[in-house]
Amino acid sequence: MTLKLHNFFRSSTSTRLRAALNLKGLDYDYVPYALRDGQTRTPEYLRRNPQGLVPTLEREDGSHLTQSLAIIEWLEETHPEPALLPKDADGRARVRALAHMVALEIHPLNNLRVLFYLRDEFAADEAAQKQWFTHWVTLTFDALEATLADSPETGTYCHGDTPTLADLCLYAQVWNNKRFDIALDKWPTIARIFAALDSLPAFNDAAPPNQPDAA
């Protein structure tokens, strides 16, 4: 038995978790779900994850963990090395705040079920969906760029020279942005960090196009 990752190649919360598992050196079976086909709305899947969301991490004992950031915190507590959070409380607060800027202020607004709602209830066409998506990315990336560029704590990555929880969220979000062709020109620090992350096998192996269910 090994870990099973119930996920979807393009899901940004799945990308975060795949990279975390890779960084921790944990092997897992990849179980893909086609979100557009409702494969996470079946009774069987809802028993694993009552929200019908990906990712869900199924453990060796058959129990399930949900919510990507909660799972990553669990990984950090149960497999501490290599660390995804700094040792000091101030550094941990900074890393979590950077991660949450992306995970709470961008991603929840831009996932598939929200775009579907806009399409169905507000007749939002592709252009209106792109404007919505880009608006929330821009609001937070402007603030994130300023925060990263201004701080001596920013290094090769978001916090120093080893990847952290913040980088997991940033990396996955930049991949998500490609859905609407959002370039990084306005955000040079974010672009630099993304390129550094993308050169690491743990991240690149987690990228959407490199998954078995990629179109």
| Position 119 contacts a copy of itself (CB under 8 A) | no
| Position 191 contacts a copy of itself (CB under 8 A) | no
Kindly report the number of other CB atoms within 10 A of residue 200's CB atom: 17
| Position 108 contacts a copy of itself (CB under 8 A) | yes
Give DSSP secondary structure letters for 93-130.
HHHHHHHHHHHHHTHHHHSHHHHHHHHHHH---HHHHH
Give the C-alpha distances (Å, rounded to integers) separating 8 from 68, 103, 152, 174, 214.
Answer: 13, 17, 36, 16, 9
Amino acid identity at 87: K
For residues 15-41, one letter each, b for 16 or more C-beta atoms within 10 angstroms of the residue's C-beta and e for the rest, the string is bbbbbbbbbbeeebeebbbebeeebbe
| Position 195 contacts a copy of itself (CB under 8 A) | no
Find the binder of a copy of itself among 131, 198, 205, 209 (CB under 8 A).
131
For residues 65 and 59, is the Cβ–Cβ distance under 8 A? yes
Closer residue to a copy of itself, CB minimum distance, 36 or 59: 59
DSSP state for residue 154 in the 8-state scheme: B
Closer residue to a copy of itself, CB minimum distance, 50 or 82: 50
| Position 176 contacts a copy of itself (CB under 8 A) | no
Minimum separation from the CB atom of position 211 to a copy of itself (A): 23
| Position 3 contacts a copy of itself (CB under 8 A) | no
Query: In this structure, what are the phi and psi dihedrals at residue 171, rounded to the nearest 5 degrees?
Result: -60, -50
Closer residue to a copy of itself, CB minimum distance, 131 or 210: 131
Minimum separation from the CB atom of position 202 to a copy of itself (A): 22
Tell whether the torsion through CA atoms of 138, 7, 15 and 175 is positive or negative: negative
| Position 51 contacts a copy of itself (CB under 8 A) | yes
| Position 143 contacts a copy of itself (CB under 8 A) | yes
| Position 121 contacts a copy of itself (CB under 8 A) | yes
- 181 CA to centre of own chain: 18
Binding site for a copy of itself (CB under 8 A): 50-53, 65-67, 69-71, 73-74, 77-78, 89-90, 92-93, 96-97, 99-101, 103-105, 107-109, 114, 117-118, 121-122, 124, 128, 131-132, 135, 139-140, 143-144, 146-147
